[in-house]
Amino acid sequence: MVDRDRIQSLSEEGQNSRFFDELEQEVTPCAEDLGMSDRLTVSANLERLWLPIALNIVMSRNKLDRTLIQGILGGQGTGKSTLCSILQQVLNYLGFSVATLSIDDLYLTYAERQVLRKEDPRLIWRGPPGTHDVALGLEIIEQCLQENSSTQILLPRFDKSAFDGEGDRTEPKKIAQPNILLFEGWFVGVQPLAKFPDQFPLPIATAEDIQFAKDNNKRLQAYLPLWDKLDSLIVLYPEDYRLSQQWRKEAEQRMIATGKTGMSDTECDRFVEYFWQALHPELFIKPLLATADLVVEITSDRVSTILVKETIEKN
């Protein structure tokens, strides 16, 4: 049940609301599970980032009489999975049922990707356009949008550890029709380019790299029906897209330190650059800053700031 008192009080008074401390207590265990142990940081993030984003989503949802499809775009290391987990806690507290669908959950099966790789050996890793089941994504979203549906939705899930890290579909999660669906991914909402620049940004360096970028641009066309279902788009944008490479290395180093398998720095460089060659942030993500409903800029020290439209347009 939507709690209008909480929404109004938190919208008008923020940290001074009588509900803020209670909300913070709800969010803190989730934040700690995600590695955020400093209470002051959690409180500050809740006040200036997580709560405002959640209230923005609530405002969009209240304009509809159906499930809101909220897109969240963010490159590697930008914290989109973390944001979705926290937003779910905040929105649940405000009385909304929430489900999260990652574009990673829509990967083709292991067997299907082996066939795809034979057709195009350049698709050495899952991730670029063409490696997802777009029809499955549309099916899930359509089920969320059905009027007063009581049918359980089988939310797809993907196990990245299967087949020695190649990954495969796993048991779907059964959910009821949510009030809000958070649809996140590294190129959710990205539009194909009508024209490419004369000079391509690195690491698109060779004629083969350029052709790979152009082919991925064409493959984006198949995703447009999915993007058309988005009611709103949030973009998580590093002040320098190259920070994703650094953040990925740090994440892998933390995994290795705990005894888990992780990529070396050289492997990380190659992995991240592969995605830049597929859909370069400067070419495909930057244009969305002018059209997204909300942009969150992330600095090198992981401080996030919500940019208003006027600021985006000036930049």
Amino acid at 37: S
Distance separating alpha carbons of residues 184 and 104, to the nearest angstrom: 9
Supply the DSSP symbol for 13: H
Helices (H) and strands (E) in the chain, counts: 13, 8
If phi > 0 it is left, if psi is from -120 to 50 it is alpha, else beta; for residue 165 that is left
Q: Are the C-beta atoms of 117 and 124 separated by less than 8 Å? A: yes
Tens of pLDDT, residues 57-72: 999 999 998 999 999 9
- Residue 30 has a CB neighbour count (10 Å cut-off) of 16
For 134-181, the DSSP string reads: HHHHHHHHHHHHSTT--SPEEEEEEETTHHHHT-EEEEEEEEPPPSEE
Share of the chain above pLDDT 90, in %: 77
Q: Rounded distance, CA 159 to CA 192, Å?
A: 29
Instruction: Please provide the size of the chain in residues.
Output: 315
What pLDDT score does 305 carry? 85
Q: What is the pLDDT of residues 172-220, one digit of tens each?
A: 999 999 999 999 999 999 999 999 999 999 999 999 999 999 999 999 9
The model's confidence at residue 306, banded by pLDDT at 50, 70 and 90, is confident
Cα–Cα–Cα angle for 297, 280, 282, rounded to 5 degrees? 50
Q: Give the CA count within 13 Å in the CB-facing half-sphere of 303.
A: 3
pLDDT mean across residues, the chain: 92
Q: Compute the average pLDDT of residues 241-250.
A: 88
Q: pLDDT band at 308, cuts 50/70/90? A: low
pLDDT reading at 50 higher than 80: yes
Q: What residue type is 209 in one-letter code?
A: D
Q: 3-class DSSP state for residue 68? A: strand
User: Which residue is associated with the tokens 């009508």?
Assistant: 194
Kindly report whether the global pTM for this prediction surpasses the value 0.75.
yes
Distance CA 295, CA 311 (A): 10
The rounded percent of the chain whose pLDDT value lies above 70 is 97
Give one DSSP letter per residue of 200-244, joined into a string. Answer: PPTT--SHHHHHHHHHHHHHGGGGHHHHTT-SEEEEEEESSTTHH
Separation of alpha carbons 137 and 51, rounded Å? 28
